[in-house]
A = this chain, B = another copy of it.
Amino acid sequence: MTTTAAAQTTVVSYGLGPIGAGIASLALDRGYRIVSAVDISPDKAGHDLGALLGRPELGVTVTADAAAALALRPQVVLHSTQSHMPQVMPQLLACIEAGACVVSTCEELAFPWHQHAAEARRLDEAAKAHGVTVVGVGVNPGFVMDLLPIVLTAPSRTVRAIRVTRVVDAGLRRKPLRRKVGDGLDRAAFEQGVAEGRIGHVGLAESVAMIAEALAWPLDSISEMIEPVMEGTTVRGLHQVANGLRGGEAVISLDLTMAVGAQNPRDAVTIEGEPPIAMTVAGGIHGDIATCAVTVNAIPIVLTAPPGLTAVHRLPAIHR
């Protein structure tokens, strides 16, 4: 999209956590016209968006009142609040009913049909009724462990299994991520955090389900396991695996390690089939920068996509 076209595209930034703030900042860099921004935190609501982002004042005041922001009828909402569908449903429906396309980093929205089929249907119907497109994006889920392996099967005559390994050195990443992976806890606290849903990567099962749908592979089930990565008695991060099972075999296997000091950080995709394909991104794709970027890069694509709830593999290539 040209800068001129971007300047004519009205945007609301919904959620100004570390990722949401990065998204808003990049949208401004690209020349998009942010007409309002929403955040419920008292540290943010009432402040100028530009100032909050460490930029010149914009004359756009962050509001805790989403309805007021959406009343400006933006063309697009860049949504970055929570990870789970039930949490974001009212927010997404309000955006849709205001006639806005939505690009969201909500992890479960990347492929909601698996675990939240009823909510997905409701969003799809609302989006079609209001003529807007809704999509969940991100680097993971949304790219490295699902879209990229799907795209890599384009040259495949046959595919027997798909294996993805992502290793992230959490020591190089922001604090919320280190907290999310349990860094510094002991094993009991880690396990409690997992049980309470505070620790763990959200979206691995969604990635499995997206790949299975694309390949038209009916799965018997999706299994998930999570364990701490220990250094002595201290947790340094997590190791999480989701498998898509068919006939007792893991035909889709997604293996994620996010730990402080993790060795050989990388994204690796193996397509077992004809031809065999073994892809590696050395160092891995940086999650925070990438999630902000893919969100903003998706704007021109959603603006021209057919209305409804969609998923990244059903859209034309999102690109810089």
Contact = CB atoms under 8 A, between A and B. Distances in A.
Contacts of A151: 147-148, 151, 317-319
B289 A274 contact: yes
Interface string A208-232: 0000001110000000000000000
Given A155-B139, A155-B143, A155-B289, A214 B277 contact: no
Contacts of A216: 1-2
Contacts of A282: 278-280
Interface stretch (A50-58, A59-67, A291-299): A291-299
A316 B316 contact: yes
A126 to B, nearest CB: 22
A158 interface: yes
A129 interface: no
A286 interface: yes
Nearest to A216: B2
A157 interface: yes
A278 B283 contact: yes
B285 A275 contact: yes
Interface residues of A, number: 47
A154 B319 contact: yes
Contacts of A291: 155
User: This chain: how many copies in the complex?
Assistant: 2
Contacts of A280: 279-280, 282
A2 to B, nearest CB: 6
A19 to B, nearest CB: 13
Given A143-B155, A275-B290, A293-B157, A316 B319 contact: no
B293 A285 contact: no
A270 B41 CA distance: 40
A174 interface: no
Nearest to A3: B216
A132 to B, nearest CB: 18
Interface in A139-173: 139, 143, 147-148, 150-151, 153-159
A26 interface: yes
A20 to B, nearest CB: 15
A173 to B, nearest CB: 12
A117 interface: no
Given A215-B319, A320-B215, A290 B147 contact: no
Interface of A: 1-2, 26, 139, 143, 147-148, 150-151, 153-159, 214-216, 273-283, 285-286, 289-294, 297, 313-320
Q: Please provide the 5 A-B residue pairs with the shortest distance between their CB atoms, ordered closest to farther.
A: A155-B290, A153-B320, A275-B286, A156-B320, A157-B293
